[in-house]
Amino acid sequence: MTLEIGMLGYRFMGKAHANALARLPMFFPDAPDVERGVLIGRDEDALRDAADRLGFSSIATSWEEAIDEVDVFYNLGPNHVHAEPSIAALDAGTPVFCEKPLAPTLEEADVMAETAREADVPAGCAFNYRFVPAIRYAKRLLEAGELGEIRHVRGRYLQDWLVDPEAPWSWRNDEELAGSGALGDLGSHTVDLLRFLVGADDIAGEISRISGHLRTFVEERPVEGDGAGTDETRPVTVDDAYSAQLEFENGAMGTLEASRFATGHKNDHTIEIHGSKGSLRFSLERLNELEVLREDNRGYKTILVTDEDDPYVDHWWPPGHVIGWEHTFVHENYEFLTAVAENGEFEPNFEDGLAAQQVLEAIEESDDAGEWVSLD
């Protein structure tokens, strides 16, 4: 049976997922057969061009009509478009793969997760960094207790694409459209990754309380594109950067931060975990490596996670033939579509998306109140 996919969104994430779908048959031959069916968007000309480039057989300018015609619905639109189409698809019993963060607000994420529970079909949230081989390797070490009692968990996601105050305004700068700035766009990845790595009861458990701080450095930005006057600007109504302190159920301490103003850092998502018997360090800018320190305490060892028995690597190339950011999308699409074909379980799902949204909300609540917020 071939799964026909309807995909809403055809820019950055549309290209990442369409590329992943195109590579599945060659590198994951046991993946379900999928057809890139209908590409959904508003601008018909741009849509037609994108459908040709991304290999979709048809286009639709209305998601309402399209979601009844497809076997799987991918919601890759801006954050403010995540809720309504995903809920409608799930209500029609159609599996949904939605980009992160799940929604701009906790209220919308709540309804999406509730709808997914009732629909009883796979509803995935595309936190792609769970599908980095080095992250899977780290998870195996943590589950095996190799690091001992977890004391410190640190997550940082640094970019610098908004350092220039003349960088144009976009939906990512608007609270109505995005929900939050670096917090939701980048922080949601880090929160999900920490939950994935240490969230189990026998490792560090869930996050129990939070102290948060948000900051907007540039309050307005120039508007670019059709109809924009030469000096038209729009307000920035979300954070440019955030930081947070966490306490985990087992007492471990956590620190989180993300910024779009970290000059010199392009897409630097780093995780550091320190335990009583060892530590590990991961950086997205060195995606194929994991630094591990064992009990001998004589410095970190860099492990190149590209051996055949390392997660997902056997689908690609011989040891040392490194993979990249795009391959994480191939891995997550393989797992999600396999779950759809078998009506199995997929994680991260809408429950994980909701759990991340609860942490984001608590960080904003703490920043507003100027005090710690409990998540219990």
Decide whether 250 or 267 has the Cβ nearer to ligand SOE.
267
Decide whether 183 or 273 has the Cβ nearer to ligand SOE.
183
Beta bridge partners of 58: 38
Beta bridge partners of 270: 156, 283
Decide whether 33 or 326 has the Cβ nearer to ligand SOE.
326
Q: How far is the CB of 118 from ligand SOE (least distance, A)?
A: 28
Q: How far is the CB of 196 from ligand SOE (least distance, A)?
A: 15
Q: How far is the CB of 243 from ligand SOE (least distance, A)?
A: 18
Q: How far is the CB of 119 from ligand SOE (least distance, A)?
A: 25
Q: How far is the CB of 241 from ligand SOE (least distance, A)?
A: 13
Q: How far is the CB of 325 from ligand SOE (least distance, A)?
A: 8
Cβ atoms of 128 and 332 closer than 8 Å: yes
Output the DSSP codes for 51-113. Answer: HHHHT-SEEES-HHHHHTT-SEEEE-S-GGGSHHHHHHHHHTT--EEEPSSS-SSHHHHHHHH
Mark residues 215-254: x for contact with ligand SOE by CB under 6 A, - for none. Answer: ----------------------------------------
Q: Is 192 in the site for ligand SOE (CB under 6 A)?
A: no
Q: Is 267 in the site for ligand SOE (CB under 6 A)?
A: yes
Size of the site for ligand SOE (CB under 6 A): 3
Residue 45: closest CA among 65, 66, 59? 59
Decide whether 150 or 287 has the Cβ nearer to ligand SOE.
287
Decide whether 185 or 239 has the Cβ nearer to ligand SOE.
185
Between CA 52 and CA 223 the distance in angstroms is 29
Question: Which token pair is 57?
Answer: 């057989």
Residues 15, 61, 227, 173: is their CA dihedral positive or negative? negative
Considering only residues 156 to 175 of the shown chain, the ones binding ligand SOE according to CB under 6 A are: 159
Between CA 245 and CA 254 the distance in angstroms is 6
Q: Is 270 in the site for ligand SOE (CB under 6 A)?
A: no
Q: Is 19 in the site for ligand SOE (CB under 6 A)?
A: no
Cβ atoms of 277 and 147 closer than 8 Å: yes
Q: How far is the CB of 323 from ligand SOE (least distance, A)?
A: 16
Decide whether 269 or 315 has the Cβ nearer to ligand SOE.
269
Q: Is 185 in the site for ligand SOE (CB under 6 A)?
A: yes
Q: How far is the CB of 326 from ligand SOE (least distance, A)?
A: 11
Mark residues 140-159: x for contact with ligand SOE by CB under 6 A, - for none. Answer: -------------------x
Phi/psi region, residue 130 (left: phi>0; alpha: psi -120 to 50; beta: rest), is alpha
Q: What is the CB neighbour count within 10 angstroms for residue 368?
A: 11
Between CA 347 and CA 364 the distance in angstroms is 26
Residue with tokens 């019993």: 93
Question: Which token pair is 68?
Answer: 């009844």
Decide whether 97 or 248 has the Cβ nearer to ligand SOE.
97
* Interface with ligand SOE (CB under 6 A): 159, 185, 267
